[in-house]
Chain A
Amino acid sequence: MTKDIIREIKSGNKEAFEDLYNKYADYALRVAFAVTRSNANAADAVQETFIRINSNIDTFKDENPFDPWFYKILINECRRVLKINSIKNSSMDIMANDLYLSVNRTPKFEEYEDLYFAIEKLDEINRIPIILKYLKGFSEKDISHILSLNINTVKSRLYKGRLKLKNFLKVFDEGWSDYEG
């Protein structure tokens, strides 16, 4: 299915690019938001990812799986957006952009809210593998390709990430001041 869409995009079919967007945008936005922790940053990262996909689709080799290629670009764009915004914008600007995008930044759910908050508190090196594995369902091998890491490093980061989440849930009742991620 995806390979057919890619073939159509390569042959110049503009509607196929919209098909690709409709197929990938939901999870791309979810992953980008979980990585960047901002709607404005997520929107920027997903926008630039699809623009890069559109202009570089000819470099994608049909025999390779598309998803790791797509998410490698997305994660790189998330990191780039985070880097630019950490230099240019204050957190107030990001919040203003989120208001402009008419979506509330704070997750509105009660069940698992503590766990999601704990994931947000994780360092990037543990957070991104956790997001790719549990939100998108990537294998450790795919994650190692997306992040250009050794597979054992990915396993270690996932293990430590899970451990930190469990520790967080244990100390949650004692208050945030004791928790250091």
Chain B
Amino acid sequence: MKGKFDNNIKDALIKGTDETTKLKNEVWERINKKIQEDERNDIKIVKIPRQISEGF
């Protein structure tokens, strides 16, 4: 009896969250965009001290 109820919980969770898998591609695009932004920001951080030192 416990096993049947456990299986029902599993099935309910799988069916109840089925729609979320449609977000997969959208979230991947967001991750890529964020990583690229972070990489660009890292490059800027490296360049700032050099630009300041050149100004003096």
Contact = CB atoms under 8 A, between A and B. Distances in A.
Do A and B form a real pair?
yes
Interface of A: 18, 21, 25-26, 29-34, 39, 42-43, 46-47, 50-51, 54-55, 101-104, 107-109, 111-113, 115-116, 119-120, 130-131, 134-135, 162, 165-166
B31 A33 contact: no
Contacts of A165: 9
Contacts, number: 102
Given A51-B35, A116-B15, A130 B9 contact: yes
B15 A50 contact: no
Interface residues of B, number: 27
Q: Which 8 A-B pairs have the closest CB atoms?
A: A116-B16, A112-B12, A30-B17, A115-B12, A135-B13, A29-B20, A116-B12, A33-B20
Nearest to B32: A18
A23 to B, nearest CB: 11
27 contacts: A18-B28, A21-B28, A25-B24, A25-B27, A25-B28, A26-B21, A32-B20, A33-B20, A34-B17, A42-B20, A42-B23, A46-B27, A47-B30, A47-B31, A50-B27, A51-B38, A54-B35, A55-B38, A101-B26, A102-B22, A103-B23, A104-B19, A109-B15, A115-B8, A115-B9, A119-B13, A165-B9
